[in-house]
Amino acid sequence: MRLLRLLELHQLLSLGGAMGEEWESASSLGELFEAIKDCRRCPLGATRTNLVLGTGDEQAEIMFVGEAPGFHEDKQGIPFVGPAGQLLDQLLGSIGLERSQVYIANTLKCRPPENRDPQPQELETCTPFLFKQIEIIGPHIICTLGNHATKTLLATSTGITQLHGKLTRKGSLVYVPLFHPAAALHKPPLKNTLIEDFQRLREHLDSERVRWREEAEAAAEPEASPEAEPEQMGLF
């Protein structure tokens, strides 16, 4: 299972092209940040205040992936610290989780001007760093927040309206797409949908934990050795 996951992540990393640089050999998020903190691969590097890598538990079971840093995130270098982040904290609390127990990141590490949508060149440049984060953290469930993160990580054209709250498996990786908290702030009726989807996320997490435990127990069981055939007595 571990080998399969690493192979899948290797395929994801290859989507961004072979760069052959220090970030590829990073074994921790700290090393990754040091390797890319001065990134200027796309024009966003010239307009950002801070590169926003992510925040939370490096060994988290659940990883949340949004779209891109906003105004407050760009200033502080931490994802989801504005109003959308406050709502995310409330939603986590509703299912018994705290920000420190999960990991939060974005598809882009730099703020697009005026919070516009990510452009294809920016996604192509930046998503290999996200896939490297996934490789380092090894989350059991990845929650994509909004259309851009969902379409990028699931490689699908299906929108968040159809996918939200549903568990999707791609190989050994498990995804649960969710509406972006910012969408619920702009469209209040979506807040109830998000609350319901977080309850579904809690159910998904509980059922997946049972599956992970069963798989771990099965992997730990020693293989039964074939029984030796009874020795045949000689006729004389």
Tell which residue, 187, 199, 182, has the closest CA to residue 67. 182
Q: What integer best gives the mean pLDDT of the chain?
A: 87
| Predicted confidence (pLDDT) at residue 69 exceeds the cutoff of 90 | yes
Check which CATH number belongs to the domain holding 197 and give it: 3.40.470.10
Tell me the pTM: 0.84
Average pLDDT over residues 131-155: 95
* pLDDT above 60 (res 147): yes
Q: What is the torsional sign of CA 205, 211, 212, 217?
A: positive
> Which pLDDT tens digit goes with each residue over 26-53?
999 999 999 999 999 999 999 999 999 9
pLDDT value at residue 223: 65
Mean pLDDT within 15-21: 45
Comparing 166 with 228, the larger pLDDT belongs to: 166
- Examine residue 51 and state whether it is found in any structural domain, yes or no: yes
- Specify the pLDDT at position 232: 53
Task: Determine, yes or no, domain membership for 217.
Answer: no
**124 in a structural domain:** yes
Average pLDDT over residues 81-92: 96
- Is 83 inside any structural domain? yes
- Letter for the amino acid at 132? K
How long a stretch of residues is the chain?
Answer: 236
User: What CA–CA distance (Å, rounded) separates 33 from 28?
Assistant: 9
* Structural domain includes residue 215: no
* pLDDT given at position 224: 57
pLDDT of residue 236: 40
Q: Per-residue pLDDT for 24 more than 80?
A: yes
- 228 within some domain: no
**Domain of 90?**
2-210
- Over residues 107-118, the mean pLDDT reads 94
**How many domains, in total, are found in the chain?**
1
Q: If we measure between CA atoms, which residue out of 116, 112, 105, 87 comes closest to residue 181?
A: 87
In the block, tokens 């659940």 appear at 62
